[in-house]
């Protein structure tokens, strides 16, 4: 098991503390704390957060490794399963379980959420932003993953732009699998963004006396606005991909129509020639031209005239363009 404990010290900065001291510190002082948990078993989770969680149903949700709920409200706690991207460069859903109680926020990773690792390192090593309470830690976490969703959305939009350029230069270089992969990634991001919006929207409407958000509720509205903005950009990106796919289908249909048109021309040209050769191929006595020395040249001439006539006809009708 890997876990890290932080305390908001007197200067309102996050400081790493020994996790063994967390329970005693919570009972002794009024500081706020953050418990970050990675790769914990059910027994380890029970040991770490059992004293924090009073409601049995919440504990059931925490111990359920599968996705059980998005957000639940209890008497003195809020439980959130916040959907995140598994990696900043690829689309894959993971869930970050968040337990919010007075003076303590606990986060539990569900899956290899590399973004969370970078966020923790930012709190540990980089210039740390001042925070007011555990609510601010919650805000930074949710805002980080909503922004990550936007970054992935912009990467997808860039991929679509490159595909559009390739399509304009040479439509034959585009593979339908490329469009299918982009569509799969967009659908995945939309699912994540919709669940994120639901979580922050529900959080905005919650009222827990023990967790009075107060003036910080404006920050939740900011999260909701950001989540909705991600969904809007994703919607426009999806429409752009649909437009590209529609143009791709029209181009492919036109190419197939030209191939079928050429096959039709070839079939139509050779049909009368086949008729002539079939007629003179019959083994009957007394057929004209069979016994003459110039009969073959007359047949070839007739077939050439028919061939030229039909080619000229199809050319005038525009079947070769």
Residue 268: CATH number of its domain:
1.20.58
% the chain with pLDDT above 70: 88
My answer on whether 136 and 188 are in the same domain is yes
Residue where one domain finishes, among candidates 251, 272, 288: 251
In this prediction, residue 196 carries a pLDDT of 92
Which domain covers residue 145, as residue numbers? Answer: 2-251
**pLDDT tens digits, residue range 10-28?**
666 678 888 888 878 877 7
Q: Give the number of other Cβ atoms within 10 Å of residue 231's Cβ.
A: 17
In this prediction, residue 238 carries a pLDDT of 92
Sorted by sequence, the CB contacts under 8 Å of residue 50 that are 6+ apart come out as 59
In a domain, 152, yes or no: yes
In a domain, 321, yes or no: no
pLDDT of residue 264 exceeding 90, the answer is no
Residue where one domain finishes, among candidates 231, 251, 271: 251
Q: Compute the radius of gyration of the chain from its Cα atoms.
A: 35
Residue 204: CATH number of its domain:
3.30.460.20
**pLDDT tens digits, residue range 226-253?**
999 999 999 999 999 998 888 888 887 7
**pLDDT tens digits, residue range 185-232?**
899 899 999 999 999 998 888 877 667 777 777 888 899 999 999 999
Total domain count for the chain? 2
My answer on whether 15 and 50 are in the same domain is yes
| CB of 208 closer than 8 Å to CB of 73 | yes
My answer on whether 118 and 178 are in the same domain is yes
In a domain, 260, yes or no: yes
My answer on whether 59 and 9 are in the same domain is yes
Starting at the edge strand that comes first in sequence, how are the strands of the sheet with 71-73 ordered? 14-17, 2-8, 33-38, 104-110, 90-101, 78-87, 71-73
My answer on whether 266 and 184 are in the same domain is no
Q: Measure the CA angle with vertex 59, ends 58 and 63; round to 5°.
A: 120
């Amino acid at each position: 098991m890997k876990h890290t404990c932080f305390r908001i010290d007197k200067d309102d900065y996050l400081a790493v503390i020994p996790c063994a001291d967390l329970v005693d510190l919570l009972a002794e002082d009024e500081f706020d704390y953050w418990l970050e948990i990675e790769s914990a078993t059910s027994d380890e989770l029970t040991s770490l957060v059992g004293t924090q969680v009073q409601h049995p149903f919440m504990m059931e949700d925490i111990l359920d490794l599968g996705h059980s709920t998005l957000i639940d409200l209890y008497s003195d706690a809020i439980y959130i399963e916040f959907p995140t991207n598994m990696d900043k460069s690829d689309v894959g859903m993971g869930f970050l379980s968040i337990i919010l109680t007075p003076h303590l926020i606990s986060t539990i990773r569900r899956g290899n959420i590399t973004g969370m690792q970078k966020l923790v390192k930012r709190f540990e090593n980089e210039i740390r932003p001042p925070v007011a309470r555990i609510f601010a830690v919650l805000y930074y976490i949710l805002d980080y993953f909503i922004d990550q969703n936007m970054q992935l959305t912009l990467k997808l939009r860039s991929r679509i732009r490159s595909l559009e350029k390739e399509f304009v230069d040479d439509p034959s270089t585009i593979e339908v699998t490329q469009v299918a992969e982009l569509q799969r990634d967009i659908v995945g991001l939309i699912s994540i963004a919709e669940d994120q919006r639901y979580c922050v929207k529900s959080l905005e409407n919650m009222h827990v006396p023990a967790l009075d958000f107060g003036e910080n509720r404006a920050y939740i509205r900011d999260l909701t606005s950001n989540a909705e903005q991600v969904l809007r950009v994703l919607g426009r990106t999806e429409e752009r991909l649909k437009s590209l796919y529609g143009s791709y289908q029209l181009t492919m249909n036109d190419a197939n129509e030209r191939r079928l048109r050429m096959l039709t021309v070839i079939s139509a040209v050779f049909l009368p020639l086949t008729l002539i050769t079939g007629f003179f191929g019959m083994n009957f006595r007394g057929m004209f031209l069979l016994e003459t020395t110039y009969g073959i040249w007359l047949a070839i001439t007739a077939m050439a005239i028919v061939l030229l006539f039909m080619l000229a006809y199809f050319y005038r009708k525009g079947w070769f363009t």
